[in-house]
Structure 1
Amino acid sequence: MRWISLWLSLACQSLLAAEWFPYPVQADGRMLDYRPLPAAAQPWRICALLPHGKDRYWWGVAWGLDQEAQRLGVRLGIYEAGGYEHGDVQLEQFDRCVAEGADAFVVASINTYDLCSAAKVQLQAGRPVIDLINRLDCTGLSAHSRVDFADMTRATLDYLVHVSGGRPIRVGWLPGPADAGWVQDAERGLREALAGKAITLAHGGYGPVDRSRQAKLVRELLKQHPQLDYLIGNAEAAAFAAQLVRNTGSGAQVLSFYATERVLEQIREGQVLAAPTDSPVIQARVALDLAVRGLHGEKLPQLVSPQIEMLDAASLRHFDLGRLMPPEGHWMIRQELPD
């Protein structure tokens, strides 16, 4: 753990010392260098809603939002619902932000539809609503700052086909919560990527991305399919599976279809083979900038996406960790919307 803490500290010190932009993104199908506003025209009040704050992926998102709010000079509330099973909590948090008079909303949604009615009312009132990371599937949203998890899964499968040399393989799959938009997208990408390939898939079922739920699914999947060559899972499933495989001597190699700090540590230690990153800190920064641009009345791109990068033991040595997680010593940021 010490290596990643030191590396992370140095990487994020470098990120803080220099501006994070210009940053290469794809905006509505065009590659360009994203340059955010130098500052907001006034100290707008913006609410950010996240699904949970249980791991450094979402700590990084909250940190990126907070850093960008400070740079732009806006006031930011950050709320997390406590898990993907708490869609009702996220809806209550949205309503609370409305009652507090928020000028704009950045939403990493628990599921694809529950917030649509509430979001529609705010959009009609001229308040921007930005979809962040998870895919909020409502019509008329101001903009989307996210990477398609179908592409994340395709990148993972392409990597797997390459390292396996195209031979027939058996692959276990543990995606996460069934109703989450990013999981639905990941499964769409998986189906498309499997077409025409010599891969036998064993689906391990759905569940919230907490360690206890995913550990149970991992154990059952490996019990039912002891001859798997590879296991691809959400970060919690992959992290637990890597430990279990190491302790039991199973022949399965483990990949995650997105990267977190624990997954990166296990890649470095040779327990996890690889994972793609969607640069969530950058997505958070872009989302907040888009919210401010919307408040300024600018015409916004509909979709802004950082490029996906596969991380394995070789590429990890050159990767800027400040794109993925907060600096050492920074925890989850939860804060009420300031007056």
Structure 2
Amino acid sequence: MHLLKGLLFCLCLTSLQALADWYPVAVQAVGQPLNYQPLARAAQPWRICALLPHGKDRYWWGVAWGLDGEASRQGVRLGIYEAGGYENPQTQIAQLQACRAQQADAYVIAAINTTDLCPQIAELQAQGKPVIDLVNRLDCSGITARSQVNFADMTREVMAYIEGRRESGAFSLGWLPGPQGAGWVMDSESGLRQALLGQSVALYHGGYGPVDRASQAQLVRRLLDAHADVDYLLGNAEAAGFAAQLVRTSGNQYRTQVLATYATERIIEQIRDGFILAAPTDSPVLQARIAIDLAVRALEGKPYEPLVSPLIEVLDQRSLQQFDISRLMPPEGHWMIRRELP
């Protein structure tokens, strides 16, 4: 814990510098390597609406912090809205409609599911309004550009980590992906299927649920009660975080080793303390910053890449020592940013 606090202290001291010089950064642009360089500043104070699924955990705090920082650096005005959870698709629909009523110039959307916003996005396309797909994946026509990492790749990376350290032969895996219908969950499940092809594995699906502590704790308990001897448990950050705590405090009742499908501040702490083996990170703060730049480029008719993806890094106790944590979460003392569109 003291190491994490020290890391956060250093991050707090350098947060202003991190905002100023986060670029150039190595990314994949439509699958090709690129050193991403954002614009120095927007030509005018464009009004951008950002929609997020919720603000319950540090993953989305980091996204909001990244959006806010890049909007401030480029001199654009930003509204940040969160729907309160994956169980609230109607709230996100209403938030998009409210931004449209306020005549936002561009939209950055981390969608609750892949299709509910498509009718409105088609209308925005007809009006020439840029729409940037952030993190979660939208299956709509009319998307201007995407700032996201494929969660199929994230899951393949963490499964490769397991494969590289486990003993040969059959093994068992508990699986807790997250909310049903979310694009990133569907991609993650696709990646899992691909990773398990040809493997001798017993897969125990723990069920779907919102990514809040209470919902995921219930699914974790149910899965481990039914399969106490499962070799590995792989789940969303809330599931993995609770599972690691449960395994640690249960004596020898469970022997599972826990991994997460993505990293948050809590997951990093548990990796550092040895309670979680590893988790890949999609650098959500970087995704958010790039999304703002893509929106400004589209508004100003400047060249942009249709898909930009930060490089996936698998974090364990060793690799964590070299990782730039400002790509993942805000500095200490920063919470969820919510703001009406100016």
The TM-score with structure 2 as length reference comes to 0.97
Match of 1:214 among 195, 213, 216: 216
Post-superposition shift, 1:13? Answer: 3.5
Aligned to 2:314: 310
Post-superposition shift, 1:299? Answer: 4.1
Match of 2:93 among 63, 69, 91: 91
The secondary structure found in structure 2 opposite 1:179 is coil
2:178 and 2:89 map into 1 onto residues whose CA distance is 15
Deviation by residue 1:86-121 (Cα, 9 ceiling, x = unmatched) = 000001000000011100000000000000110111
Post-superposition shift, 1:134? Answer: 0.3
Post-superposition shift, 1:29? Answer: 1.7
1:26 and 1:305 in contact (8 A); partners too: yes
Post-superposition shift, 1:167? Answer: 3.1
Letter of the 1:98 counterpart: R
Moved more, 274-283 or 13-22: 13-22
Q: Equivalences for 1:229-244 in 2 at 5 Å?
A: 229-244=231-246
Q: Equivalences for 1:171-186 in 2 at 5 Å?
A: 171-186=173-188
1:184 and 1:283 map into 2 onto residues whose CA distance is 19
1:8 and 1:322 in contact (8 A); partners too: no
1:12 and 1:322 in contact (8 A); partners too: no
1:302 and 1:277 map into 2 onto residues whose CA distance is 21
Post-superposition shift, 1:297? Answer: 1.4
1:199 and 1:189 map into 2 onto residues whose CA distance is 15
Post-superposition shift, 1:197? Answer: 1.7
Post-superposition shift, 1:302? Answer: 1.6
1:113 and 1:137 in contact (8 A); partners too: yes
1:147 and 1:306 in contact (8 A); partners too: yes
Q: Which runs of 5+ in 2 are unaligned?
A: none
Letter of the 2:43 counterpart: A
Post-superposition shift, 1:69? Answer: 0.4
1:155 and 1:166 map into 2 onto residues whose CA distance is 18
2:15 and 2:331 in contact (8 A); partners too: no
Aligned to 2:3: 3
1:63 and 1:281 in contact (8 A); partners too: yes
Letter of the 1:64 counterpart: G
Letter of the 2:275 counterpart: Q
Aligned to 1:276: 280
2:2 and 2:44 map into 1 onto residues whose CA distance is 42
Q: Equivalences for 1:35-46 in 2 at 5 Å?
A: 35-46=37-48
Match of 1:295 among 299, 305, 319: 299
2:26 equivalent to 1:24: yes
The secondary structure found in structure 1 opposite 2:162 is helix
2:271 equivalent to 1:267: yes
Aligned to 2:255: 251
2:210 and 2:234 map into 1 onto residues whose CA distance is 16
The secondary structure found in structure 2 opposite 1:272 is coil
Post-superposition shift, 1:137? Answer: 1.1
2:341 and 2:5 map into 1 onto residues whose CA distance is 31
1:177 and 1:183 in contact (8 A); partners too: yes
Q: Which runs of 5+ in 1 are unaligned?
A: none
Letter of the 1:127 counterpart: K
1:165 and 1:159 map into 2 onto residues whose CA distance is 12
Deviation by residue 1:299-323 (Cα, 9 ceiling, x = unmatched) = 4322100010000011111111100
The secondary structure found in structure 2 opposite 1:232 is strand
Letter of the 2:280 counterpart: P
2:196 equivalent to 1:191: no
The secondary structure found in structure 2 opposite 1:273 is coil
1:128 and 1:142 in contact (8 A); partners too: yes
1:336 and 1:47 map into 2 onto residues whose CA distance is 9
2:106 and 2:131 in contact (8 A); partners too: yes
2:168 and 2:129 map into 1 onto residues whose CA distance is 50
The secondary structure found in structure 2 opposite 1:26 is strand
2:205 equivalent to 1:203: yes
1:332 and 1:79 map into 2 onto residues whose CA distance is 10
Count of equivalent residues: 338
Post-superposition shift, 1:166? Answer: 3.3
1:283 and 1:194 map into 2 onto residues whose CA distance is 28
Q: Note closer, same or farther for the CA distance 1:123–1:5 as it changes in structure 2 (3 Å cut).
A: farther
1:170 and 1:230 in contact (8 A); partners too: yes
